[in-house]
Structure 1
Amino acid sequence: MKKILKKTAFTLTLLTGLLLVFIGGRFLFHPEAAETAFGISVPVHGNFSFHYIKGIRDLCAGAALMGLLLTGERRGVGVLLLAITPVPVVDLSLVLRAPNHIATALYPHLIAIVLGAALGIYYIFSTNKNQKHAAL
């Protein structure tokens, strides 16, 4: 059971990291499509500055998450996941406040909140506190 939980957490975390990199890339290279998938519509008149900010934020968060995961820094993964869990909370609140939001656009943000919190707690409490860290 413990091994299955460990593999499941690893797989979900890796998929989360890959998805964040994908979402970030989409906001950088296809900002209008990414905005629609996010669940809001903002008139930008060709200025995608905030889309690029979100894109690089998600891309870097995903890369950092995968970097920590693949180097075995499980406690670091947990800390990072818990630290960035407020991001989808704010994203969800933005979608909820948007006029004419589509209910299905809420699900990815809700899933991100649950995964971030659950996986973060799992990695914090399942990792040996005496584990040597790569930086030491």
Structure 2
Amino acid sequence: MKNTSEKITFYSTLSIGILLVFIGLFFLLNPLAAEAGFGISVPVNGNFSFHYIKGIRDLFSGITILGLLWTGERRALGVLLLAGTIVPVMDFCLVLHNPAYEAGKLIQHLVAIIMLLALGGYYLSSTAKKTSHAL
């Protein structure tokens, strides 16, 4: 790593990847406790489908981020982070439109939106575009 900006973005991205893996596993292994931290309440009646969908989504996202970071695919990582911003935006909207939402539960989603936009933008602006002859 060359400079402070690269170190900050690297460790921020690493943290996000690890955190998403943890959140994904948390939703898969302890769905009700994870739901409480997310900011919405889903009537389950023994059906944890929502929790498992959320868990596998976050686990996949975290592993993908870590894989791209590890292999040095910074431009692809930038695209992924920017495109992935749709996830916390929708999570923010889901929590906001929940009749029993708590304002404090919105902050984590807002922070994720800001971080993904900033990191994705950094990776795209700091990496050279490779020319491709593919169709």
TM-score of the superposition, structure 2-length normalised? 0.93
Report SS of the residue matched to 1:44: coil
Matches within 5 A, 1:91-110: 91-110=91-110
1:74 & 1:58 partners in 2: Cα distance?
20
2:3 & 2:106 partners in 1: Cα distance?
32
Q: Which deviations, in whole Å up to 9, do the C-alpha atoms of 1:65-123 show, x marking residues without a partner?
A: 00000110000110110111000000000000111211111111000000011100100
Q: Which deviations, in whole Å up to 9, do the C-alpha atoms of 1:24-71 show, x marking residues without a partner?
A: 001100000111100001111110011101100000000000000011
2:40 & 2:61 partners in 1: Cα distance?
21
> Can you give the 5+ residue segments of structure 2 that lack an aligned partner in the other structure?
none
Give the number of equivalent residue pairs: 130
The corresponding residue for 1:55 is 55
Amino acid at match of 1:32: L
Matches within 5 A, 1:79-98: 79-98=79-98
CA RMSD of aligned residues (A): 1.2
TM-score of the superposition, structure 1-length normalised? 0.92
2:129 & 2:95 partners in 1: Cα distance?
38
2:94 & 2:43 partners in 1: Cα distance?
15
Amino acid at match of 1:94: L
Deviation at 1:15, TM superposition (A): 0.2
2:21 & 2:90 partners in 1: Cα distance?
19
Amino acid at match of 2:126: S
1:44 & 1:38 partners in 2: Cα distance?
15
The corresponding residue for 1:127 is 127
> Can you give the 5+ residue segments of structure 1 that lack an aligned partner in the other structure?
132-136
The corresponding residue for 2:41 is 41
